[in-house]
Structure 1
Amino acid sequence: MLLFNYFYNTLAKEREELQTSYNTLAKERDELQTSYNTLAKKRDELQTIYNTLTKERDELQTSYNTLAKERDKLQTSYNTLAKEREELQTSYNTLAKERDELQTSYNTLAKEREELQTSYNTLAKERDKLQTSYNTLTKERDKLQTSYNTLTKERAELQTSNKKLMTERDQLQNNYNRFSALKQTGPEGWTLFQSSWYYISSEVKSLNESTAGTKQTFLTKLNKRVWIGLTDKDSEGTWKWVDVTPLTTAYWSEKQPDNGSGDRAYGEEDCAEHSPELIDMA
């Protein structure tokens, strides 16, 4: 009986020591669980920025579920303390290991939180730079929009001017067509043949008089200074036509020909030209 009391007291003492250790460990577990809940709340606030915390949270939840299951087993083992003392010691060792793992996870999570805060600060700085760039780009866009509006207005003005010019061109084309139609009819008494106009006179003249008179009338109507194909370049004062035939009848202006009047500024004159003032030198 004494021996039984001794073992019973010893077993009860060991049980109380294990219970104390278990309570201490449970308290540490509860304290760690409180810290874990606080950290999990912060982790949730940073969840949108650092997605990898989700995986670690799930792993921690699994450990928590395992611990709850072991706690239930420990409660059952309490009723049969003597038989399951060794199992309780094993559970204690397991719980101590899990505590260390949880502490390590806590330290890792705290470090990741600091790194995430640093990343957040960097991202905020980059956001501010992007905002500045965006503002600058917006200002440049507004300037380009103003330039675009100006160019659009100028384009409209040019289109208006272009339409006006096209209208004027069409009017000029119509006038030109009417003039061309009128030109095709020719003046009274003249006949068009192979791009040349001919006048058949009823007045009787010699060949030279007729030729000279007709040309003189035509050139006078031009009202321009034109070369008539007469030159004395081969021999000064000896006038010949381009076909080398000599000049027989001339209509010179007063004091002509003068070969440039001896003025070197004009140079030597070798060609006869028609002008509104009759025949002149050139």
Structure 2
Amino acid sequence: MKSRIALYAGYFVAMLLLASYLTGVLQQGILPRFGRQAAAPQQDEQSAISDQPSTVQESDQAHDTGSAPKDQASLQPREETPSAQPAPQKSDASASHPPQQTAAATGTPPPLSNEQRPVISDQEKALAEKRAELLRLEEQIRKRKEENQIEEKWLAELKATGAKLTKERDARREAGVKRLATLYEGMEPEAAASILSKLKREMATEVLAAMKDRQASKVLAAMTGQKAKELSERLEDAGAGRTISQGKAGEATP
């Protein structure tokens, strides 16, 4: 029994030693070697892939040496294509801004639509008619004003002429009355009284008023009582009126 236990213990120790040995060998030698061998094909594949473009480029360059002008001609449009790309951007920019905004930015009025043109033409026609009507009314007012000025001037001239004629008439009447008064003063009182009694009361009153007081009193004394009374009353009224008018004229003059 003890021998068996010792045998099993020996086996177990041998197995432990073998396991530790194998573990050290794997870690130090076998596993790193296998790892390097597994990584080597991958590196070779990557280097082969990286070398392929250069070989392809070299083969293309060697193959295209004879057709270089053609390739350059074909490459020129490829270089010009980026310069042609901003054109759509301009169209997009112009599309993003409506015509009204662009017109407002440039200061020019926006174009009119077909629907707006008839309306604007009708409005312009109506404005032209109103303008013509205003001009016609203005011309009528101007003519009427000129006519009024002419009428006012004519009335002023007419008034001045009437005043002048009235003044001349009054002057002639006054001169005639004075001549009659002088004539009656040289006559006899009875003869003068007889003639004045036949004249109108207004005329007889004016003649007696123009005569001297002494001669007028003698003529009144030669008249009848009723006629002398009427003419005396008229002379008194005419003298009062003449005194009042003379007083007003004196107040008016400085």
Measured against the shorter chain, the TM-score band is 0.3 to 0.5
Q: Larger Rg: 1 or 2?
A: 2
Higher strand share: 1
Q: TM-score, normalised by structure 1?
A: 0.34
Higher helix share: 2
Greater relative contact order (CA < 8 Å, ≥ 6 in sequence): 1
Q: TM-score, normalised by structure 2?
A: 0.37
